[in-house]
Amino acid sequence: MTHVIAQPCVDVKDKACVDVCPVDCIHGNDNDPQLYINPDDCIDCTLCVDACPVTAIFAEEDLPAEWTSFTQTNREYFGN
Q: Dump pLDDT digits (tens) for 11-31.
A: 999 999 999 999 999 999 999
Q: Above 80 in pLDDT, residue 80?
A: no
pTM of the model: 0.94
**Which H/E stretch holds residue 18?**
helix 16-20
Per CATH, the number for 3-77 is: 3.30.70.20
* Predicted pLDDT at 62: 97
Structure confidence at residue 55 (pLDDT):
98
- Coarse DSSP helix, strand, coil percentages of the chain, rounded to the nearest 5 percent: 35, 10, 50
Nearest to 26 by CA among 74, 76, 66, 80: 74
